[in-house]
Amino acid sequence: MFTSNAWSAMSVSSTLVGEEISGIVLDNSFWKGRAHCVSESLVKVLRLVDSEDKPAMGYLYEAMDKAKKAIQRRLKKKSEFLPYWRVIDRRWETQLHSPLHAAAYFLNPGLYFDPKFDKHREVKRGMNDIVEKLVCDDDIRDIIVRQITDYKRSHHSFGSATAVRNRAKMSPKNWWDQYGIDCLELQTLAIRILSQCCSSSGCERNWSIFEHIHSPKRNRLEHERLNDLVFVHYNLKLRERDMIKRTGKNITDPISLENIDILDEWICEEPNHLTMDDVRGWTCVEQPNQEADSIPDFDFDGGEEEGPGPVTGEELGVGDDDAMEDDEADVAV
């Protein structure tokens, strides 16, 4: 529009306002900034997930809501931010979302007791699903349900002045470890959920084991932890390969030195197999020396018998011309 003749013909194009607007629209940095309005909030979520400063499981659910609201504030119009919301929701539901995220959000005291806590039914449903899946004993389930009520109402040690003051200061896992002592069953479940690891590797496409773990784009792993992860992944691959080769009682641990066969093919190199070139070469016979004497046959009874004479060219299928060439070659030597 701003590069067309119609715009140039308009009187407003020569005014200060027109020139300013035209400069903004034609500036590439303006469009890059608009893209950053959408991606910046999502990048913050990914940084949170990969951060080792604190376990991200208890904060991921809220972080996604904050990212969507940040996009809404910047784009403002419903027609502009709703398409981005749909993309985020579709990716969240199909690939990233888990009841663990909702349950961890519920069990994070720093967020649950915040007045802005979103008491959406999806959060309660996620907590209920986790109790059903992770707790097998019906009696313990009933106890946990009653203890959840104590947690929501800040009864027992949950309501102490120190526990209230440290809700947002301590990590959720440490808070439950310190102040969940009156509800041991719920404490065990909460620590188990809040200790789960998070990773943004589902948003990437690195297929190599090392690149999958040690990506320059997001590497914040400690060196020792990186080596441990590579070691575990690689040996799992070795074990899987070994279990495919072996069946029944012959399945062994490939990492155990006691189970290694010293004659195994990966230790002792097998000889090379016969090739087609070797098969074709067996008919190649060296030309006989025409000056060779007859080979005597020894009689072990004491005598010596004269053996057959030298092999002739006719017997080998060599013509006179070939024989002459051989003689000339001998003379030349």
* Residues 215 and 234 placed together within one structural domain of the fold: yes
271 inside domain: no
* Residues 213 and 317 placed together within one structural domain of the fold: no
Task: Between 288 and 57, name the one with better pLDDT.
Answer: 57
Q: Supply the pLDDT for residue 43.
A: 67
- pTM of the predicted model as reported, rounded to 2 decimal places: 0.49
User: Which of 177, 203, 229 is the last residue before a domain boundary?
Assistant: 203
Cβ-based neighbours of 145, under 8 Å, separated by 6 or more: 131
Task: Between 262 and 88, name the one with better pLDDT.
Answer: 88
- Separation of alpha carbons 36 and 149, rounded Å: 43
Q: Supply the pLDDT for residue 276.
A: 53
Task: Between 7 and 309, name the one with better pLDDT.
Answer: 7
Q: How many structural domains is the chain composed of?
A: 3
Q: Supply the pLDDT for residue 163.
A: 92
* Residues 172 and 302 placed together within one structural domain of the fold: no
- Structure tokens that stand for 106 in this block: 């519920």
In the predicted model, what is the mean pLDDT of the chain?
69
pLDDT by residue (tens digit) across 94-105?
666 678 888 888
* Residues 49 and 176 placed together within one structural domain of the fold: yes
- For 298, the domain range is 276-332
268 inside domain: no
* Residues 223 and 159 placed together within one structural domain of the fold: no
pLDDT by residue (tens digit) across 270-293?
445 545 555 455 555 555 555 544
Strand 297-298 with 304-305, pairing: antiparallel
